[in-house]
Structure 1
Amino acid sequence: MGGAPEHRYTCSRARCTAEARWAIVWRNPKIHAADRRKTWLACEAHRDELRDFLAARDFPLEVRSVSELEEQNEQ
């Protein structure tokens, strides 16, 4: 009880311990070069909230499934 989550990826939303199924890949163009990307992980419940937070700031972003991101990183 109270141990680590039983899944590989956890949602990036504060205090959320749900399994992340989505990757939100983004950058802040004011401080990041065009090739610099950051990734937030999101569960089903927080995907839209995290995406909307970044979109409201006009940050370029993409939403991908975690499995798609893993496949890309394996190449």
Structure 2
Amino acid sequence: MGFVSNESTTETLVCSAKGCRAAAVWVLAWNNPKLHTPDRRKTWLACEEHREHLSQFLGIRGFLKDVVPLEEWRSAADR
């Protein structure tokens, strides 16, 4: 699945949904409490079309922690 690095980049990041090649516009931050410490955040990327589906997938499992616009996530990482 897609990930977001702490570095600002001009490269186009793509949606993490299987088979999707659309540009990502959302970051879904998640954590599997059985595997990760509470403060750890894994990320998936989502296009507009798949944001809800991926959010539901993570949410139903209790993994979803936050959904943030990609540009906002990048801005926070640059600070």
When the two structures are superposed, what TM-score results if normalisation uses the length of structure 2? 0.83
- Note the alpha carbon deviations across 1:2-56, whole angstroms, 9 max, x for none: xxxxx61100001100010000001011110012110000000000000000000
Q: How big is the alpha-carbon RMSD for the aligned residues of Structure 1 and Structure 2? A: 1.0
CA distance in 1, matches of 2:13, 2:56: 21
Helix, strand or coil: the match of 1:9? coil
Stretches of structure 1 that go unaligned for 5 or more consecutive residues are: 1-6
Higher normalized contact order (CA 8 Å, seq sep 6+, divided by chain length): 2
Q: 1:39 aligns with which of 34, 37, 43?
A: 43
Over 3 Å off, 4+ runs:
none
How far, CA to CA, are the matches of 1:48 and 1:61 in structure 2?
A: 14
Unaligned residue ranges in structure 2 (runs of 5+): 1-10
Cα distance in structure 1, aligned partners of 2:49 and 2:64: 22
Aligned residues: 69
Among 34, 37, 41, which residue is 1:30 paired with? 34
Identity of aligned residues (%): 43
Q: Do the aligned partners of 2:28 and 2:64 also contact (CA within 8 Å) in 1?
A: no
TM-score scaled by length of structure 1: 0.87
